[in-house]
Amino acid sequence: MELVSKEFRRDVLRACDSGLGTRVVAVKFDGSESWVRRIKQERREQGKTAAKSTRERAATWEAYADWLRDKVAGQPDIYLHELRAAAMTGRFPRSRWVGLAAH
């Protein structure tokens, strides 16, 4: 999904405030009706007119970051497959390691 600027969202909301219908605004700004309804709802319920700039979610492997740092500090030339083998000895659930290996 393409990021929409604050100014563009503001213009869409202004058009809605001027009395234009959702469908007319969607056609005018080359968007979908559902998107126009969503930004109107976000403003109504949360008071926001701009998209959220950052996610407030930690990485799934964050709980194991200290272990990983200690392993790398203790053996700076460690290979990824060696880290994987050490992690599979029971410290990590497999799903966590899959997420870590993807990065």
> 59-89, pLDDT tens digit by residue?
777 888 888 899 899 999 999 888 888 887 7
Dihedral pair phi/psi, residue 89, rounded to 5°: -75, 5
Mean pLDDT score, 43-51 = 84
- The answer, as to whether pTM is greater than 0.75, is no
Instruction: Return all residues near 5 (Cβ < 8 A) that are at least 6 apart.
Output: none
Please give the pLDDT value at position 5.
83
For the chain, give me the number of helices (H) and strands (E)? 6, 0
Closest CA to 40 of 20, 55, 56, 54: 20
Q: Which amino acid is at 51?
A: A
